[in-house]
Amino acid sequence: MLASNFCTTSLILQLLCLLFHATSAAIYSAHFCTNQTFYASDTKFQSKLNTFLSSLVSNSSLPSLNGFFRTSVDDIDGRFLYRGDVNATVCHGCVAAAAANITRLCPNDTESYIWYDECMLIYSNNTFDNDDIVPGIPLNDEGSTVNTNHDHFNQLLSNVLNSLEGKALESSMGEKKFAVGAVSVTSAQTLYGMAQCEPDSTSGRCAACFGSAISTIPTCCNGSGGARVLLPICSIRYQLYPFLYNSTMLIPSSGMHIIMYIIDYESSPLTQVFLIVLKRFNSVH
């Protein structure tokens, strides 16, 4: 409230606020419209959906949520999950953008999915099946090239993703299932990765989801220096640049569980590398 009063007092301030807003805007990744059943506009369902999405948006600014919120009102089931390294402020902006965009991108649809860098939001007129690992959207960062031979990189990537999955799965029910890590590929390139699953999903469901996501990489994104696989309950991402909001999560500190792996290449001891996987046990903010 204070911020919005501040932003409306003068044109200069409005411009400053716009600028601030633009730099902190959520980054859209992908969406999926189910296209199975549609509602007519100006119906009771449309107004229920609008009310429902507004309640998701207002709940998204509550820092107590631990990054995840699921609710069901009347026939509508929906949820959002924010990336483990973003705070409630960033999340709120992301969920607001997602809620506004989803009805524009999937007009009249009774079930839709939208993913941003910082959050994901989905709703359905039916209760989601708890084992849903579809739809899945692979995004290949084709511009990103690897500076080493393919076999070496693929081996490294597979080790990183499997380690991150393992760390994310260690959280108990209700805790954030989020792991980030970094490993050097060459002296000039570092591979950054993350894996996240919904806090209220069982390890079994998350493992199935991660398995599906990781197995997509060789087909969608073979040899690429960056990729994401976005699913309804989990996602994975890797890049050759740091993409976390809070890169200090990659630095060991108290409150984190630190695992150091030695990835052993049989070819030569010189290619041994250290992988540091960090996982937070507590909520970020």
Ligand X SMILES: *[C@@H]1O[C@H](CO)[C@@H](O)[C@H](O)[C@H]1NC(C)=O
Token duo for residue 254: 């108290």
Q: Which is nearer to ligand X, 37 or 272 (CB)?
A: 37
DSSP string, the chain: -HHHHHHHS-HHHHHHHHHHHHHT---EEEEEE--S-B--TTSHHHHHHHHHHHHHHHHTT-GGGTTEEEEEETTEEEEEEE-TT--HHHHHHHHHHHHHHHHHHSTTBSEEEEEESSEEEEEESSPPPTT---S-EEEE-TT-B-SS-HHHHHHHHHHHHHHHHHHHHTSPTTS-EEEEEEEESSSS-EEEEEEEE-TTS-HHHHHHHHHHHHHHHHHHSTTBS-EEEE-SSEEEEEESS---S-GGGGS--TTEEEEEEEEPPSS-GGG-EEEEEEEESS---
CB of 62 to ligand X, least distance (A): 6
Residue nearest to ligand X (CB): 58
Q: How far is the CB of 222 from ligand X (least distance, A)?
A: 4
Least Å distance, CB 52 to ligand X, is 8
Least Å distance, CB 276 to ligand X, is 14
* Closer residue to ligand X (CB): 248 or 272: 248
Shortest CB 121 distance to ligand X, Å: 11
Least Cβ distance, residue 41 to ligand X (angstroms): 4
Task: Give 115 or 204: the residue with its C-beta nearer to ligand X.
Answer: 115
Measured from the CB atom, the residue of 103 and 202 that comes closer to ligand X is 103
Nearer to ligand X among residue 101 and residue 162 (C-beta): 101
**Calpha distance 242→235 (Å, rounded):** 17
DSSP lists the bridge partners of residue 280 as 256
**What residues line the site for ligand X (CB under 6 A)?**
26, 28, 33, 35, 37-41, 45, 55, 58-59, 71, 73, 75, 87, 89-90, 97, 101, 105, 107-108, 110, 125, 150, 218, 222-223, 245-246, 248-249, 253, 280
As measured in angstroms, the least distance from the Cβ of 15 to ligand X is 19
For ligand X, the closer of residues 13 and 251 by Cβ is 251
Q: What is the distance between the alpha carbons of residues 84 and 141, in angstroms, rounded to a whole number? A: 21
C-beta of 225 vs 270, nearer to ligand X = 225
